[in-house]
A and B are shown apart, each in its own frame.
Chain A
Amino acid sequence: MSWHAKVYVVLKPSVMDPQGSTVQRALHQMGYSAIENLRIGKFIEVNFDQALQEQEVHKQLNEICDKLLANPNIETYQFQIERV
Chain B
Amino acid sequence: MRFSIIVFPGSNCDHDCEYAIRQVLKNPVEMIWHKNTDLKNPDCVVIPGGFSYGDYLRTGAIARFSPIMESIFNFANKGGLVIGICNGFQILCEAQFLPGVLLKNKNLRFVCRNTYVRVDEVDTPFTNQCKNSSVLSMPIAHGEGNFFIDEEGLKKLEDQHQIIMRYCNSKGQITDESNPNGSLKNIAGICNQARNIFGLMPHPERVCEKELGGIDGQLIWQSISNS
- Chain A residues within 8 Å of B, Cβ to Cβ: 14-16, 18-19, 22, 68-69, 71, 73-74
Contact = CB atoms under 8 A, between A and B. Distances in A.
B179 to A, nearest CB: 13
A56 B28 CA distance: 49
Prevailing SS type, chain A contact patch = loop
23 contacts: A14-B150, A15-B103, A16-B103, A16-B146, A16-B182, A18-B103, A18-B104, A18-B105, A18-B107, A18-B108, A18-B146, A19-B108, A22-B108, A68-B61, A69-B57, A71-B58, A71-B61, A71-B101, A73-B101, A73-B148, A73-B149, A74-B101, A74-B103
Contacts of A14: 150
A15 B107 contact: no
For the complex of A and B, list the 5 residue pairs with the smallest distance between their C-beta atoms, beginning with the closest. Answer: A73-B101, A74-B101, A18-B106, A18-B108, A18-B104
B100 A73 contact: yes
A16 B148 contact: yes
Contact size class for B? 20 to 34
Contacts of A73: 93, 100-101, 148-150
Contacts of A16: 103, 106, 146, 148, 182
Contacts of B107: 18
A9 to B, nearest CB: 9
Contacts of A69: 57
Residue picked from B58, B100, B104, B148, most chain A C-beta under 10 Å: B58
